[in-house]
Amino acid sequence: MAEITITVGNVKVEASRKDLIEVSETPDGVSFNFKGGLQLLFTDPYMPSSAKQIVKNTADHMKEKRLIFELDNPRVPARVDAT
């Protein structure tokens, strides 16, 4: 089953990929919207727009894969687990 993992520092959130509705860029970070009305808002006023776009595009285009979002890593904010 496809899952997503979102990490920021020592905080780690795991969820089923099918529960993620959308990822949106915000002026100061990114927002993850889940089924049931849950919203996870990551705020970083210095997060580059390119990192926000990588996170959003990865979530939009990798529907059946396990996704790993490391939001405090601006060089590689999103990865696809191939295993």
Distance of CA 15 to the CA centre of its chain: 11
CB atoms within 10 A of CB 20: 21
Q: What is the pLDDT of residues 18-74, one digit of tens each?
A: 999 999 999 999 999 999 999 999 999 999 999 999 999 999 998 888 999 999 998
- Residue 43, beta-bridge partner list: 29
Q: Which two tokens stand for residue 12?
A: 């780690």
State residue 71's pLDDT score: 95
pTM for the predicted model, two decimal places: 0.90
User: Are 17 and 51 a contacting pair, CB within 8 Å?
Assistant: no
- Alpha-helical (H) ranges within 1-83 are 49-61
